[in-house]
Amino acid sequence: MIPNGRPSPGSGANVIRAAHGEYIVTDLERARTFYVDLLGFIETERTPDALYLRGIEERGHHSLVLTLGEQPAAGHLGFRVESDECLERVEHLAITENLPHRWVEPDEEPGQGRALRLQDPFGLPLEFFSSMARAERLLQRFDLHRGAQVMRFDHFNCQLPELQRAYEWYSSRLGFGCSEYTATDPTPDAKEQLWAVWLQRKQNVHDLALMNGIGPRVHHLGFWVADPLSVLRACDVLAAAGYEPNIERGPGRHGISNAFFLYLRDPDGNRIELYANDYLVADPDWEPIRWSLNDPRRATFWGHAAPPSWFDDAALCRSVITGELLPVRAPGLADRPQHVT
Amino acid sequence: MIPNGRPSPGSGANVIRAAHGEYIVTDLERARTFYVDLLGFIETERTPDALYLRGIEERGHHSLVLTLGEQPAAGHLGFRVESDECLERVEHLAITENLPHRWVEPDEEPGQGRALRLQDPFGLPLEFFSSMARAERLLQRFDLHRGAQVMRFDHFNCQLPELQRAYEWYSSRLGFGCSEYTATDPTPDAKEQLWAVWLQRKQNVHDLALMNGIGPRVHHLGFWVADPLSVLRACDVLAAAGYEPNIERGPGRHGISNAFFLYLRDPDGNRIELYANDYLVADPDWEPIRWSLNDPRRATFWGHAAPPSWFDDAALCRSVITGELLPVRAPGLADRPQHVT
Amino acid sequence: MIPNGRPSPGSGANVIRAAHGEYIVTDLERARTFYVDLLGFIETERTPDALYLRGIEERGHHSLVLTLGEQPAAGHLGFRVESDECLERVEHLAITENLPHRWVEPDEEPGQGRALRLQDPFGLPLEFFSSMARAERLLQRFDLHRGAQVMRFDHFNCQLPELQRAYEWYSSRLGFGCSEYTATDPTPDAKEQLWAVWLQRKQNVHDLALMNGIGPRVHHLGFWVADPLSVLRACDVLAAAGYEPNIERGPGRHGISNAFFLYLRDPDGNRIELYANDYLVADPDWEPIRWSLNDPRRATFWGHAAPPSWFDDAALCRSVITGELLPVRAPGLADRPQHVT
Amino acid sequence: MIPNGRPSPGSGANVIRAAHGEYIVTDLERARTFYVDLLGFIETERTPDALYLRGIEERGHHSLVLTLGEQPAAGHLGFRVESDECLERVEHLAITENLPHRWVEPDEEPGQGRALRLQDPFGLPLEFFSSMARAERLLQRFDLHRGAQVMRFDHFNCQLPELQRAYEWYSSRLGFGCSEYTATDPTPDAKEQLWAVWLQRKQNVHDLALMNGIGPRVHHLGFWVADPLSVLRACDVLAAAGYEPNIERGPGRHGISNAFFLYLRDPDGNRIELYANDYLVADPDWEPIRWSLNDPRRATFWGHAAPPSWFDDAALCRSVITGELLPVRAPGLADRPQHVT
């Protein structure tokens, strides 16, 4: 089964892009040191319970929310839609499919207009919103740039055990196109199966990657940086400040997406990716690029092998209704390629 | 008058993006040395009359056409549209507005499906197409990358004397949104007037910039490179090979678009820009960024002053019907800011 | 006359390297903003009358002294010598040649051991010292690096009207070797004449460049940065903070020394160069590289033409005895190449 | 025991610098693909039995010799000395200490003047020479640069079991200074012992590193590249051409020397390092930087852990008399820090 290469209307949600993510952290000040002082995220607002951060090219109030909580977890995954009417269509979808959902009032999440949160059929905690307060764009305030010089939010990467079904849901309901995918190799006993998909609405490789694995879990939030030098500077700055152990994997290059990548764990263990060097996906005849699960270039075009933690650890997801952590399920397929087991 | 920040349906052309440009050159071999051997464009096809080149991340047959001719000029400006039906709508527009136009048969332009060429109301030679043959994407063949490592086509920059009207036409008929613009400062005697606009369909700063000036002329074709280092390498390579005089302006940074830029003149004098460091324009509430014509940071955030040739020279445009060069008209507004006159 | 490619014992001064320079500034706080806050120099010590700064790899107390005074000027040019005994030999040279000189007591210049200042025969204000207090080296405190990330002092560039004699003096008395030089082209009426020399003691292109011109004047102090990206970042940071007019020339590449260069004017007009990409000069058979004065690649391998100010302006020199500014003399040779006059 | 920070006259060899190394390879054409086509070394000369390569800034005939042989090994380690008289002093040293040695006739090693080869007391195969034929320097032929853009030879890194004695010999006989060193931590039962030393004659961190380990073996030849981007480009080019398995370790940063490093294995398994971002060591009061063996930042300021092969594998050394491979001895100290065992 070859995934569909292009975004489609789906059910009319008109998702513009993955726009912000939320992690639960247990110490806001400690998180602030990591994200703001070292990595150079811009702080838009701070409340007693949360930090609202953005990248240097962003004009919106926040693209990363760090919320105080008792244990690290993934809060919600925020998608921006074209207009408020799209929110109604998403509510209709939630009602039709009997998905847990609730409205978030304007400014209940600071800076954000009315939004709808829902749990997707596999457990991921999605949020849809169409308006966001403006913040000063600091793209040309080079005198204020620091650390990794994070430009903007790029994507969510999530693990789910029902990969094929999840792909179909995101493709048909929310209209995601597939830029690249990983499949198992067919054998006499088993057909090719989807193992991971890189899905996009905005015009680059992805807004949402779904990987086969124990889930629902959020593997990482991906932030776009302008070039590999920003990634190296992040390594230097983190190591100089004593945060070398927070560098989990990389720098290296993925075959998939051509990403020059670095994976970091924040002081609570939440994972983010610094991500450069992807490409434009805009043409109507885009054909998804297929990678075999066991092609070593797929995940590591070059670079050291990923440590076991990169496969084992990911953030549990909160219920959008109760805030409680959701239980996870194991996948039917192996959760990592042969060459790393 | 504040331009509209977002793409709109317009008359239904569904333009995906600026996709390729054509320059007329007087010596194909000489042009090949410049574009392929030095700058690192990939050669897809060569005929006795033309070279078809592409950037290293591109999967389409060509993004730059160099056609043999008696004098340098701009051939056509190619826009990719969503589907073949869109071409019919563009034809309808041409008929309605009485614009010179003609169909280009499949493979009349090698690698391209059926296309429609038309002269816009101001004289620019546009081409619309929806399908293009595939070529091998060399993004990850790093062993073959050379020179400027041009990634992909990015934009057209054209000069027209009827800037305000041209903006309105591209906004209403072809649905372009405006990311940034330059305006004159209002005085007791004169209202603010549009002086230049950066217009986009794909999700970055522009597919088409229109600048006030003698026109219709094509000022440059812009190609996207991944980072400033690619630009510096282009300078080094060109200078080492004796092409330093072909570097007309830069490297430097524009305030508009945040571009790290370099302007080159090919051996026939046709101008291209190497362009890095722009940003994502995707959100529905994008408000165009206004620059005063006389703000020196607008064109030169930093860098040496542009030489007179950068203001004086641009490529004449061909008739899409006869191929003859079109006459030009002078603008009512000054064609350059006060600080460079 | 071909200059001598290698350092020699000379009169036994055992100069290790050009180590620090002094500029007179009229406003210390304004200078601090420019050098420390924006360019990222490290502040070692501040007195009511002076700032003592260093680069991020330097272990010595200072490599740039900014002294409060009534008008901008060059204070002294500091050369480090092997040992205190070398200072005696330099004193002997000063006495023998009847050069104005005086001893500087330990810590009269903060952090520095006993030193000898002398006016060279052409008027340049030299200082020789062998010991300097330690400061913390911040090379691996990447979290503290800012702006241009200046690594270390590299060289002095001075203008003198008696270029040939000056070269001979520095070669024979202080043992400098010549890495590269500029000469006029011989004509039927005139032999080749030295126009500029790049002289070295440490193992790169130069510690001291002497250029034909109105002098004695100090054209610039050169600081080494690790790569071209540091130079671009300096441009971005300066422009963002409103200091674009302080960027006088560049970025570009010199043919001579292969320098990727940027020339800045501090708020008092004193000039510094940010300098990357030179090379190792260590082998005993080094032959100086000759450049014709009128070879355009010599000064500008690529890049915009230097503005007139780059040729016209330079810092006057102080008397090492009285501190008064020395009068200047005009050169017999033209002070700039034909292609820029 | 604190090593001596500065070069000294030693026995008068006047070593200028580590200048070239020789590896034995079993297939010259295969080696040529790796070093010349992919990494961008310049080929100066090729004989039926050997390749003579250089970096892009080098003016000498070769800095890397690849000699055809039956099994991979280290041939000789070439040090350039000030003059031919220095060779006589080295011969005197060899005779006095009863070290195996022989004269190499001019051009016996193509491009090289008369040279002396000797086995140091620990088994390393040294060569001393003072003159080398000139080759064209391609530093400014940017149009010819490829791959890693290797600039020049930098250093030898060797393993010996008698580290303390070896340091003393190189310091007293050949006058090397120590820039940085690794020591064991003192315990109630054992004093601090030297574990590795970085020794220099030219003015950067090292010409010769000696590490405690099974020896005599050559761990790697180090080549200097201008910046981290050259290293990343090498990774991309190698991986694109199918040589990802030849990337053994890195990229990453060493605490020692501040090196941004990459370790490669050539098709025969010989190891080279691409090395950027070290610093100037020139001042007479340099104090060696001490690192504890068990400080994890020492070897990996940041970056993945070194694989076991990096500790286990190294090139055996040839006898300078017979060409036979020398037996090795095991060290008394552990050959790797606690945190990697």
In three state form, how does the secondary structure of D234-273 look?
Answer: HHHHHHHCCCHHHEEEEEEECCHHHCEEEEEECCCCCEEE
Measured between beta carbons, the chain B residues lying within 8 angstroms of C260 are 232
pLDDT digits (tens, 9 = 90+) for C250-307: 999 999 999 999 999 999 999 999 999 999 999 999 999 999 999 999 999 999 999 9
CB pairs under 8 A between B and C: 52
The one-letter amino acid at C164: Q
Q: If you average pLDDT over every residue of chain A, what do you get? A: 96
> Does residue C45 sit in helix, strand or coil?
strand
Beta-carbon count within 10 A of B327 CB:
9
Asked whether the predicted pLDDT for residue D143 surpasses 70, the reply is yes
Q: What is the mean pLDDT of residues A40-60?
A: 98
Strands annotated E in chain C: 15-25, 42-46, 50-54, 64-68, 73-81, 101-104, 115-119, 125-129, 150-160, 177-183, 194-200, 208-212, 217-225, 247-253, 260-265, 271-276, 289-292, 315-316
**Residue C338 — very low, low, confident or very high, per pLDDT cuts 50/70/90?**
confident
**Cβ(D199)–Cβ(D137) below 8 Å:** no
Give B42's DSSP letter.
E
Q: Does C151 touch chain A (CB under 8 A)?
A: no
Q: How confident is the model at residue C305, as a pLDDT?
A: 92
CB-based contact D78:D96 (threshold 8 Å): no
How far apart, in whole angstroms, are the C-alpha atoms of residue B249 and residue D123?
Answer: 58
Smallest Cα–Cα separation from A151: which of B278, C283, C93? B278
Nearest 5 degrees, angle CA B246-CA C183-CA C288? 90
| φ and ψ of C211, to 5 deg | -115, 145
Radius of gyration of chain D (CA): 19
User: Which residues of chain B are within 8 Å of residue C238 when distances are taken between CB atoms?
Assistant: 302
Instruction: Give the mean model confidence (pLDDT) for residues B115-138.
Output: 98
> C-alpha angle B262/B263/B269, rounded to 5°?
155
pLDDT, tens digit, for every residue of A189-222? 889 999 999 999 999 999 999 999 999 999 999 9
Under 8 Å CB-to-CB from C108, ≥6 apart: which residues? none
Instruction: Work out how many CB contacts closer than 8 A connect A with C.
Output: 25
What is the pLDDT confidence band of residue D341, given thresholds at 50, 70 and 90? low
pLDDT above 90 (res A322): yes
Question: What pLDDT, on a 0 to 100 scale, did the predictor assign at position C5?
Answer: 84
Cβ(D156)–Cβ(D19) below 8 Å: no
When pLDDT is cut at 50, 70 and 90, the band that residue C238 belongs to is very high
Q: Is the link from the previous residue into D216 a cis peptide, with omega within 30 of 0?
A: yes
d(Cα C165, Cα C122) in Å, to the nearest integer? 9
pLDDT tens per residue, range C97-131: 999 999 999 999 999 999 999 999 999 999 999 99
Mean pLDDT value across residues A282-305? 95
Write down the pLDDT at residue A143.
97
Question: Coil, strand, or helix at residue D304?
Answer: coil
Q: Is D114 exposed, middle or buried (0-12, 13-18, 19+ CB in 10 A)?
A: middle
D54-101 pLDDT, tens digit per residue, is 999 999 999 999 999 999 999 999 999 999 999 999 999 999 999 999
Tens of pLDDT, residue by residue over B209-247, are 999 999 999 999 999 999 999 999 999 999 999 999 999
| B9 contacts chain A (CB < 8 A) | no
What are the DSSP E strand ranges found in chain B?
Answer: 15-25, 42-46, 50-54, 64-68, 73-81, 101-104, 115-119, 125-129, 152-160, 177-183, 194-200, 208-212, 217-224, 247-253, 260-265, 271-276, 289-292, 315-316
What proportions of chain B, in percent to the nearest 5, are helix, strand and coil?
20, 35, 45
For the cut 60, the answer to whether the pLDDT of residue C209 exceeds it is: yes
Which contiguous run of DSSP H or E holds residue A51?
A: strand A50-54
How far is D10 from D192, CA to CA, in rounded Å? 25
Is C240 at the interface with chain A, CB within 8 A? yes
B236–C contact, CB cutoff 8 A: yes
How large is the average pLDDT for residues A233-243? 98
Q: Check pLDDT > 90 for residue D10.
A: no
Ramachandran assignment for C44, one of left (phi > 0), alpha (psi -120 to 50 degrees), beta (any other):
alpha
Q: Do residues D226 and D147 make contact, with C-beta atoms less than 8 angstroms apart?
A: no
Burial C27-51 (b: 16+ CB within 10 A, else e): ebeebbebbbebbbbbebbeeeebb
Cα distance between residue B31 and residue B33, in whole Å: 5
Residue D326 pLDDT > 70:
yes
Provide the residue type at B156 as one letter: F
DSSP one-letter code for B35: I
Q: What is the pLDDT of residue C1?
A: 64
Between the CA of residue C312 and those of A258, A323, C73, C124, what are the distances in Å? 50, 70, 15, 18
Contacts of D253 (CB under 8 A, 6+ apart): A235, A236, A239, D259, D260, D261, D277, D300, D301, D302, D303
Complex-level ipTM: 0.96
User: Looking at beta carbons, which residues of chain B come within 8 Å of D140?
Assistant: 240
CB contacts, 8 Å: A239 with chain C: 142
Q: Flag if A239 and C142 touch (Cβ within 8 Å).
A: yes
List pLDDT tens digits, range D156-199: 999 999 999 999 999 999 999 999 999 999 999 889 999 999 99
- Residues of chain D positioned with their CB less than 8 A from the CB of B233: 142
Q: State how far the Cα of C52 lies from the Cα of C45, in Å rounded to an integer.
A: 5
Chain C residues within an 8 Å CB radius of A143: 38, 237, 240-241
Tokens of D219: 């761990």
Report residue D1's pLDDT band, with 50, 70 and 90 as the boundaries. low
Rounded-to-integer distance, Cα C340 and Cα D11, Å:
53
Q: Is the pTM of this model over 0.95?
A: yes
Q: What is the mean pLDDT of residues A262-275?
A: 98
D301 close contact with A: CB closer than 8 A: yes
Contact D6, D284 (CB under 8 A): yes
Answer positive or negative: Cα dihedral of D263, D265, D266, D272: positive
Q: Which residues pair with B79 in a beta bridge?
A: B18, B128
Q: Which two tokens stand for residue C98?
A: 């009847």
H/E stretch holding D91 reads helix D84-96
The 8-class DSSP code of residue D95 comes to: H
Cα angle value D152/D153/D154 (rounded, 5°): 110
Q: Which of A238, A253, A296 is opposite residue D236, by nearest beta carbon?
A: A253
Contact (CB, 8 A) for B170 and B181: no
Q: Which two tokens stand for residue B336?
A: 């350059």
Task: Report the percent of chain C where pLDDT is more than 90.
Answer: 94
Place of tokens 């589907």: B83
Interchain contact C305–D (C-beta under 8 A)? no
Mean pLDDT is highest, among A5-19, A32-46, D323-337, for A32-46
Residue of higher predicted confidence among B336 and A220 = A220
Question: How many Cα atoms sit within 13 Å of B156 on the Cβ side?
Answer: 30
Instruction: Determine, for residues D301 and C227 on separate chains, whether the beta-carbon distance falls below 8 Å.
Output: no
Q: Are strands B260-265 and B271-276 parallel, antiparallel or unpaired?
A: antiparallel
* 3-class state of residue D222 by DSSP: strand
Residue indicated by tokens 């000054």: B334
Sheet containing A101-104: give its strands across: A42-46, A50-54, A64-68, A15-25, A73-81, A125-129, A115-119, A101-104
Determine contact: D144 vs chain B, CB below 8 A: yes
> Mind listing the pLDDT tens digit for each residue in B160-186?
999 999 999 999 999 999 999 999 999
Residue D334's pLDDT is what?
84
D141: closest chain B residue by CA: B240
Distance CA A210, CA A156 (A): 8
Q: Are strands B50-54 and B42-46 parallel, antiparallel or unpaired?
A: antiparallel
To probe the interface with A, which of D229, D231, D232, D253 has the most A CB atoms within 10 Å? D232
Check residue B341 and give its pLDDT: 53
Angstrom distances, CA of residue D118 to CA of D79, D100, D126, D129, D207: 11, 6, 5, 12, 18
pLDDT mean across residues, chain C: 96
Distance CA C306, CA C249 (A): 6
Would you call D143 and B237 a contact, using CB atoms and an 8 Å cutoff?
A: yes
How is the beta sheet containing B115-119 ordered, strand by strand? B42-46, B50-54, B64-68, B15-25, B73-81, B125-129, B115-119, B101-104
Task: Give me the helix-helix angle, C228-240 and B228-240, nearest 10°.
Answer: 120
> How far apart are alpha carbons A223 and D292 in whole angstroms?
36
Q: How many CB atoms lie within 10 A of CB B108?
A: 10
Minimal Cα distance from A258: which residue of D? D236
Supply the pLDDT for residue A332: 83
- CB A336 within 8 Å of CB A330: no
pLDDT 10s digits, B76-117: 999 999 999 999 999 999 999 999 999 999 999 999 999 999
Residue pLDDT, tens place only, B241-267: 999 999 999 999 999 999 999 999 999
Q: Report the sign of the C-alpha dihedral through residues B187, B190, B195, B200, in that order.
A: positive
Measure the CA–CA gap between B270 and A320, rounded to whole angstroms.
57
In this complex, the residue of A143, A144, A236 whose CB is nearest that of residue C142 is A236
